[in-house]
Amino acid sequence: MSRLFAPLNQRGVTFRNRLAVSPMCQYSARDGMPDDWHLVHLGSRAVGGAAAVMAEATAVSPEGRISPADTGLWNEAQTQSWTRINRFLAKQGAVPAVQLAHAGRKASTDAPWRGGGPVGPEDGGWTPVAPSAVAFDHDSLVPSALDEAGIRQVVEDFAAATRRALAAGFEMVEIHAAHGYLLHEFLSPISNRRTDRYGGDFDNRIRLLLDVIDAVRADWPERLPLWLRISATDWVEGEGWDIDQSIALAERVKDRGIDLVDVSSGGTVPNAKIPVQPGYQVPFACRIRREAGIATGAVGLLTDPAQVERIVADDEADMVLLARELLRDPYFPRRAAHALGAGITPPAQYGRAW
C-alpha cells in the first residue's frame, strides 16, 4: 500500500495524501487581490488531487510584497477575494492553505519575466525594510533598518493577516521564514548585523520569528495546523544560517505550536554554490525530523512518483511539497497514484476518463 497516498492527520485536519502544492508566486494580483487567474491556477491543482493547495507567498502588509503584483491579506477586500477561491478548493477535497510572508529587503521588485529588477516609487515601488540596511546585491534597493516599533508592527501585521486568513476560509497557515525574506533575514548573520536584542547570538536572531509564531498561534485556532517554512542552510560555509541552527530552531518551535517544518534552503546571498540535483534538500528535512522530533515537508526537484514515494515510505519526511512539477502537470497526484497502484476517486465530471 502506498505511503504517499495514506492520509495524514494534524490537529482537526485530515490531509487526504502526502502531496501538497508548494507556494508559487504568480505575479498576477492587483492591489493584493487574487482574481480568476488564482482561482483557476489553485483550483486545478485541487482537482488534480493534491492534499493541500497552498496559495503563494501572501504579504501581511503592502511593503511586505515581493512585487507590486503579489497577493496580500492586509484588508477586507482581499479577504473576500480569497473566500471564493477557498470555497472551491475545499469542495474538491483539498485543504485550503496560505503562506503568510514579508519580503523584507527583497521587496519592491518586478516580475521574473520582466527581469525581476528593483521597482522604484515612480513605478509603484517602495523602500524595503530589513533587520539591517544591507542590500541583497549590487542591483537591489538598500533597505531601511527596522526599529523596535517597526518590528512590533511586523508582528501585529502577521497576527492581523492570520485573523483574515481564518475569515477567508483557509484551514492551514504557513509562516514564511525562508529564501532570504524578512524572517529569514533576521535568522541569518549574513543579513542581520544588529547589535540590539534582535541581533548577534542565536537566541536574539530567532527572537522575531518566535514572536511571530506566538502571535499567529494565538489567533489561529487550536484545531487547525500551523506550518513553518525555513531555509535549512544559506549554503555559505561558516558564515550564515546552517542545518545545526535549523535543528535547534525546530526544537524550539515544536513547543510553540508549529506542526510541520517545510524545509527548503538558500536565498540569503545571490551567488551561493548550491549542489542542485533531484532531492538535494531532502536530507535536511530528514535530519530535522529525526533530531528535532517534528514533522517535516520535503521539497526540491521532486518529479518522479517512485522517488516521492520513497521519501515518505523511508520516513525522511511526512509531506512532499511540489512546485514546478505541478506547474507542468496539475494532475501529478493522479498520475502518481496510478503509477503506484493507489486508487483515488476523480471528480464526477471527469469519471469517464478513469
Containing 311, the helix (H) or strand (E) segment is helix 305-313
- Cα Rg for the chain, rounded, in angstroms? 19
CATH number of 8-346: 3.20.20.70
- Rounded to the nearest 10 degrees, the angle between the axes of helix 243-254 and helix 282-292 is 50
Residues annotated as part of the active site: 181
Residue whose grid cell is 496510478 = 338
Structural domain boundaries in the chain:
8-346
Amino acid residing at 194: R
Q: What are the grid coordinates assigned to 163, written together?
A: 485573523
Amino acid found at 335: R
What is the rounded CA–CA span in Å between residue 140 and residue 119? 9
Cβ count near 139 (within 10 Å): 12
pLDDT (tens place) for every residue of the chain, 354 residues total: 899 999 999 999 999 999 999 999 999 999 999 999 999 999 999 999 999 999 999 999 999 999 999 999 999 999 999 999 999 999 999 999 999 999 999 999 999 999 999 998 888 999 999 999 999 999 999 999 999 999 999 999 999 999 999 999 999 999 999 999 999 999 999 999 999 999 999 999 999 999 999 999 999 999 999 999 999 999 998 899 999 999 999 999 999 999 999 999 999 999 899 999 999 999 999 999 999 999 999 999 999 999 999 999 999 999 999 999 999 999 999 999 999 999 788 889 988 887
Rounded-to-integer distance, Cα 213 and Cα 207, Å:
10
